[in-house]
Structure 1
Amino acid sequence: MNSPRTTLYRDKHNAKLMGVCSGIADYTGVNVLWVRLGTLALAMGLGWPIFAYFIAGFVLNKKPPYLYRDANEQKYWQSVRQSPRRTAREIKASFRDIDRRLAAVEAHYVSSNPRLTAEIERLR
């Protein structure tokens, strides 16, 4: 996925130090508090996550301010990143529902409009 909305960024707007944990939280949709606590627990237990944090802080780009229009769009892209297949199924189901409703509207309009029905029959 090459979209800027599916890329991991540092989130300097919600950052405490370099914005890596808040960027991971934004990317995964997990609460930033849990990401920070997990990072802290790993750092205390293993030590290497401290180096990984600073490397990520220097390697990752800052999150662009225009990335999402609103919270709904942010939530949508988080679900895409978490499970692209599920999101595709949900979109497909939405389109099927829209298609079904549109067919019902067309059927109602055609059945209640004898002039349109006659025109369609004449074209056949």
Structure 2
Amino acid sequence: MTARRTKFYLDKRNGKMMGVCAGIADYTGIDATWVRVGAVLLTLLGGFPWTVIAYFVTGWVAGDKPGEFRDSDPEEQKFWQGVRAKPGRSIRDVRSRFRDIDRRLADVETHVTSHNSRLAREIEALR
């Protein structure tokens, strides 16, 4: 069974301590540096015991990022971050892409099947 791409994982490969902030950054698509700065600011501005407790509990409870997700290309990572953030929008995006591909294929089919003597000569010359 493959791991789920919409689940939160620790990113120990890019993490500093336990990989919690890097995991949050990977999950949301925000730069890990900003997540770390936000965690430190939240801790210093009044959330001291609770943010530290939440950090360690998350590091203890969450699983490591599966190896199959580590070497994926940036476009695929961006797609899955969009799925996690707004699943409905990502479905609309995929449908839109398929409609665009279908339209372009129809245009190519119309061009190839239309009566175009120059194109027919070029195709015959290739045979």
What is the deviation of 1:39? 0.9
In 1, the alpha carbon distance for the partners of 2:104 and 2:3 equals 32
Which runs of at least 4 in structure 1 moved beyond 3 Å after TM superposition? none
% of aligned pairs identical? 51
Per-residue deviation, residues 50-83 of structure 1 (Å, max 9, x unmatched): 0000000000000112115212211111111122
CA RMSD of aligned residues (A): 1.9
Structure 1 length as normaliser, TM-score? 0.82
- Residue of structure 1 in register with 2:125 after alignment: none
Superposed, which structure 2 residues align to 1:36-115 within 5 Å? 36-44=36-44, 45-47=46-48, 48-67=50-69, 68-112=71-115
Aligned residues: 113
Q: Structure 1, unaligned stretches of length 5 or more? A: 114-124
- Residue of structure 2 in register with 1:25 after alignment: 25
Task: Output the amino acid matched with 2:13.
Answer: H
Q: Which moved more, 1:48-57 or 1:77-86?
A: 77-86
What is the deviation of 1:3? 5.9
Per-residue deviation, residues 4-44 of structure 1 (Å, max 9, x unmatched): 11110110001111100000000000011111111111122
Q: Structure 2, unaligned stretches of length 5 or more? A: 117-127
In 2, the alpha carbon distance for the partners of 1:55 and 1:8 equals 14
What is the deviation of 1:105? 1.7
Task: Output the amino acid matched with 1:33.
Answer: T
In 1, the alpha carbon distance for the partners of 2:73 and 2:102 equals 27
